[in-house]
Amino acid sequence: MKEELDVLEQTVSSDYKYGFVTDIDTDVVPKGLNEDVIRIISEKKNEPEWMLNWRLKAYAHWLKMEEPEWANVHYPPINFQDVIYYAAPKKKKQLGSLDEVDPELLKTFDKLGISLSEQKRLSGVAVDVVMDSVSVATSFKKQLSEIGVIFCSMSEAIQNHPDLVKKYLGSVVPMTDNYFAALNSAVFTDGSFCFIPKGVRCPMELSTYFRINTLGSGQFERTLIIAEDEAYVSYLEGCTAPMRDENQLHAAVVELVAHNKSEIKYSTVQNWYPGDENGKGGIYNFVTKRGICQGNDSKISWTQVETGSAITWKYPSVILKGDNSIGEFYSVALTNHMQQADTGTKMIHIGKNTKSRIVSKGISAGKSQNSYRGLVRAGKNAINARNYSQCDSLLLGDKCGAHTFPYIESKNKTAIIEHEATTSKIGEDQLFYCRQRGIDAETAVALIVTGFAKEVMNQLPMEFAVEAQKLLAISLEGSVG
């Protein structure tokens, strides 16, 4: 028992590895939020008028809203006037290829382990990198455009594909959806835009890296992915931030639209700076992610590995509108130190024969609080809707908490919904079994945690699975060796 506690003690003392700051010239808009700031952002991005109006409308609505308090997280009130809403690496000229990217920036991504050039060469993953507020590099754009796939930053999309943006922006997450979505709609600075035309199976994984670099800045990116009929895309997203003593705000919106027989697979490895062991600093991660299975036989799958952020407030959801559509949610959320996570999913069954599956694994250590909050709703017309949910929590240490808040609502007699949840600490018999075979306590804990999370890890694309394993290992450092 003593040894076990030591292992947990060490777990608690592990550090954040991505806490460096990159010294890059940035172009920032002064702190604060008002109509003028929004106008400046819009102007800097050279946006058309309809976009500015959309932002202003969202801002006007945001002013009327109240910050939500229902989540099982606690933090001092956020001063929205104390946030930098726009910070961009200074552009000397339009970037044409990767070679023209600021070398400091490339170094940053090298440190993150996602060397753009290397990744471009080796793995054939197209990467869009968003630093602070703007997208700085998108690789493989040319190859993709040959088969009709549009993969670019949101700012470019607004310039080059305004009709698509106009049609789909806010169609899944309306600007009035919630407090942070409204804020994002008003001030979003960049993000990725992805359009897969009819019948195209995107030949490579698309990927975006987000990084908050500038002190005191918030990141508000907006991602929009559209898969037309019979299209397929797998999209990866990763995030990190430097170590800072004050809290930084990240309020993103992700919208997915899947048409007939299309499939979108969205994977996230979220590793924003979680704050130090006393809970000082760290990112507030308030994200709205939602996909709609618009067409029949479509599929949306969310996979997330959440190890970072001081506070996570995130519920990737699927609206199963098309008949026979499928929604999936796989999640590992690991909280340590003083982290707080309130995360889960919503599966809204509207169409006939819709299916959803939820697998959520929560691991809490240190003094952290980890909550699963989910909704499964079968509407009146969701004939033969089927859901299976499983959420398991693992407790490491006696000062952390694990909470489960599922909501299950059925208005249809043919719907079958199952929900299962367990909470326990690492089984003493499991530990004993490992120890018996000469495995030391640290390795045994790591082994059991990895096994616990495996069902979700298996869903990640190769490139990410490796990184995610590494992240879990870092977060549990001391016990993994």
Stretch of 19-27, 234-242, 408-416, 431-439 lying at the interface with other proteins (CB under 8 A): 408-416
Interaction of residue 425 with other proteins, rule CB under 8 A: yes
Interface with other proteins in residues 88-117 (CB under 8 A)? none
User: Which residues are bridge partners to 288 per DSSP?
Assistant: 253
For 129, residues 6+ apart whose C-beta sits below 8 A from its C-beta are 105, 109, 116, 135, 136, 137, 138, 208, 209, 211
Answer yes or no whether residue 423 interacts with other proteins by CB under 8 A.
yes
Contact at 8 Å (CB) between 308 and 270? yes
Sign for the pseudo-dihedral over CA of 207, 363, 329, 71: negative
Q: Is position 201 an interface residue for other proteins (rule: CB under 8 A)?
A: no
Contact with other proteins (CB under 8 A) among 90, 121, 411, 454: 411
State in angstroms the smallest separation of the CB of 93 from other proteins: 54
CB of 402 to other proteins, least distance (A): 5
Of 20-28, 191-199, 229-237, 411-419: span binding other proteins (CB under 8 A):
411-419
- Write the Ramachandran bin of 297: left for phi over 0, alpha for psi from -120 to 50, otherwise beta: left
The answer to whether residue 409 forms part of the interface with other proteins (CB under 8 A) is yes
Binding-site residue total for other proteins (CB under 8 A)? 35
Q: Any contact of residue 408 with other proteins (CB under 8 A)?
A: yes
Binding residues for other proteins restricted to 362-391, rule: CB under 8 A: 378, 380
Judged by CB under 8 A, which of 403, 430, 443, 470 binds other proteins? 403
Closest to other proteins by CB, 122 or 416: 416
DSSP state string for 18-70: T-------EEEPPS--SHHHHHHHHHHTT--HHHHHHHHHHHHHHHT------
Residue in 20, 75, 80, 405 binding other proteins, rule: CB under 8 A: 405
Q: Applying CB under 8 A, does 424 fall inside the site for other proteins? A: yes
CA atoms within 13 A on the CB side of 83: 24
Specify the residue, 52 or 421, whose C-beta has the smaller distance to other proteins: 421
Write phi, then psi, for 4 (nearest 5 degrees): -60, -40
**Phi, psi (5° rounding) for residue 307?**
-120, -15
> Closest CB to other proteins among 254 and 396?
396
In the bound state with other proteins, the residue whose beta carbon lies nearer, of 269 and 333, is: 333
Establish if 478 lies at the interface with other proteins (CB under 8 A). Answer: no
Distance (Å) of CA 201 to CA 125, 234, 446 = 14, 9, 37
Told to check if 396 binds other proteins by CB under 8 A, we report: yes
What does DSSP assign to residue 219?
A: B
Using the rule CB under 8 A, which residue among 399, 432, 454, 466 binds other proteins? 399
| Among the listed residues 92, 93, 413, 437, the single contact to other proteins using CB under 8 A | 413
Sort residue 46 into left (φ over 0), alpha (ψ -120 to 50) or beta.
Answer: left
Residue 70 touching other proteins (CB under 8 A): yes
**Are residues 270 and 305 in contact, defined by beta-carbon separation less than 8 angstroms?**
yes
DSSP state of 467: H
Q: Which of 66, 99, 163, 398 binds other proteins (CB under 8 A)?
A: 398
Q: For other proteins, give the closer residue by CB, 8 or 283.
A: 8
Q: Which residues contact 245 (CB under 8 A, 6 or more apart)?
A: 280, 281
CA distance 374 to 387: 12
CB of 310 to other proteins, least distance (A): 20
Instruction: Tell the smallest beta-carbon distance from residue 2 to other proteins (Å).
Output: 15
Residue among 395, 446, 468, 476 that touches other proteins (CB under 8 A): 395
| Interaction site with other proteins (CB under 8 A) | 70, 378, 380, 393, 395-425
